[in-house]
């Protein structure tokens, strides 16, 4: 017996054929759902990366602005970069903290690369 018969002007389908069609439709639905989820995950990752990049730019701007606004800090960082021993203990501590901020900025940039 064929899964689909045409008799007396009407289509007749047995349960096996109907089940096979339902399985095919559900498989197509799963594939479409997986494709949709993959696109959403890709878009979410792209958005997160963009937000992280904006945050990195803001941090860079903050560090540069800090140097621009404080000539003493700028001079101390320059001096510490060339002759660390010329700094007193308080200056070394401040330069160390500023260097940590800068290193963290570079580390974040590296991770985002």
56 contacts: CB under 8 Å, gap ≥ 6: 105, 108, 109, 112
Q: What is the pLDDT of residue 69?
A: 93
Cβ atoms < 10 Å from Cβ of 76: 21
Helix (H) or strand (E) holding 6: strand 4-7
Judge whether residue 97 has pLDDT over 60: yes
pLDDT in tens, 78-93: 998 899 999 999 999 9
Percent of the chain with pLDDT over 90: 42
Q: What is the pLDDT of residue 19?
A: 86
Task: List phi, psi (to 5°) of 11.
Answer: -85, 135
Contact criterion met (CB below 8 Å) for 95 and 82: no
pTM of the entire predicted model: 0.56
pLDDT in tens, 51-74: 988 988 998 899 889 889 998 889
């Amino acid at each position: 017996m064929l899964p689909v018969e045409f008799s007396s002007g009407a289509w007749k389908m047995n349960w096996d054929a109907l089940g096979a069609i339902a399985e095919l439709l559900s498989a197509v639905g799963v594939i479409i759902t997986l494709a949709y989820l993959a696109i959403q995950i890709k878009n979410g990752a792209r958005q997160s990366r963009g937000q992280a990049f904006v945050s990195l730019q803001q941090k860079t701007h903050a560090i540069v602005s800090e140097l621009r606004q404080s000539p003493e800090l700028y001079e101390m960082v320059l001096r510490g970069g060339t002759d660390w021993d010329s700094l007193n203990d308080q200056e070394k501590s401040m330069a160390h903290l500023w260097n940590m901020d800068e290193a963290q900025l570079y580390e974040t940039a590296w991770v985002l690369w």
